């Protein structure tokens, strides 16, 4: 039969070596070139904080920090980040001392089911870095070099992270507290 795939063998995966620093620990790995950073973290390194929500980069549950900048781990190919410094929610705390964002989320009860919380925390950490670096958002007044972290700014900057429970009423004040 013309065009039949019966009996056809699937192609073998292409493997690549890479080095990553994840939460301060160096890793040398051989990975399938199609593997996402999220899958590498969860399946190979047993770091399950970043969640696989939509697997399309739309919900933000998989948000991690790559070289200090927030990114959706489900969209990032692992091989594209050889040599990168990765921080997951497991790496935010300093030993037993919680990151200020983690402490603020607890104090403000900024989670319900908690599924989105790791992505929210990593995104907020990255966002605070962007604010400190002077990056404007879509709602930053034009020409404002000293962006005030208002509720509108926080909501805009965190808009890539969705919470199905609707805990935004507590997430926004938690981030504002940590920013102070």
What is the residue extent of each domain of the chain? 15-91, 100-179
Distance in angstroms (rounded) separating the CA atoms of residues 114 and 93:
17
Find all residues with CB under 8 Å of 21, minimum gap 6, and list them.
27, 84, 85, 86
Neighbours of 16 (CB within 10 A): 15
**Superfamily assignment of 15-91 in CATH?**
Beta-grasp domain (3.10.20.30)
pLDDT per residue as tens digits for the range 7-60: 667 788 999 999 999 999 999 999 999 999 999 999 999 999 999 999 999 999
Q: Given a cut of 70, is residue 4 above it in pLDDT?
A: no
Q: Given a cut of 80, is residue 70 above it in pLDDT?
A: yes
Question: Which pLDDT value is given to residue 72?
Answer: 98
pLDDT per residue as tens digits for the range 83-94: 999 999 999 999
CATH of domain 100-179: 1.10.150.120
Q: Mean pLDDT over residues 153-174, rounded? A: 95
Q: Given a cut of 90, is residue 147 above it in pLDDT?
A: no
Nearest to 41 by CA among 59, 58, 25: 25
Per-residue CA distances from 173 to 95, 102, 130 (Å): 25, 13, 18
pLDDT per residue as tens digits for the range 102-122: 999 999 999 999 999 999 999
Distance in angstroms (rounded) separating the CA atoms of residues 165 and 171:
11
């Amino acid at each position: 039969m013309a065009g039949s795939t019966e009996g056809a063998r699937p192609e073998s995966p292409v493997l690549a070596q890479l080095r990553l620093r994840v939460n301060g620990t160096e890793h040398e790995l051989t990975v399938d070139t199609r593997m996402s950073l999220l899958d590498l973290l969860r399946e190979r390194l047993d770091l399950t904080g970043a969640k696989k929500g939509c697997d399309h980069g739309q919900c933000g549950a998989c948000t991690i920090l790559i070289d200090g900048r927030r990114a959706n781990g489900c969209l990032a190919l692992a091989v594209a980040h050889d040599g990168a410094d990765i921080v997951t929610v497991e790496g935010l705390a300093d030993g037993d001392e919680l990151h200020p964002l983690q402490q603020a989320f607890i104090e403000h009860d900024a989670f319900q089911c908690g599924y989105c919380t790791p992505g929210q925390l990593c995104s907020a950490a990255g966002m605070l870095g962007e604010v400190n670096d002077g990056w404007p958002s879509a709602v930053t007044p034009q020409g404002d070099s000293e962006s005030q972290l208002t509720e509108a700014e926080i909501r805009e900057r965190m808009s890539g992270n969705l919470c199905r429970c609707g805990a935004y009423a507590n997430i926004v004040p938690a981030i504002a507290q940590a920013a102070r």
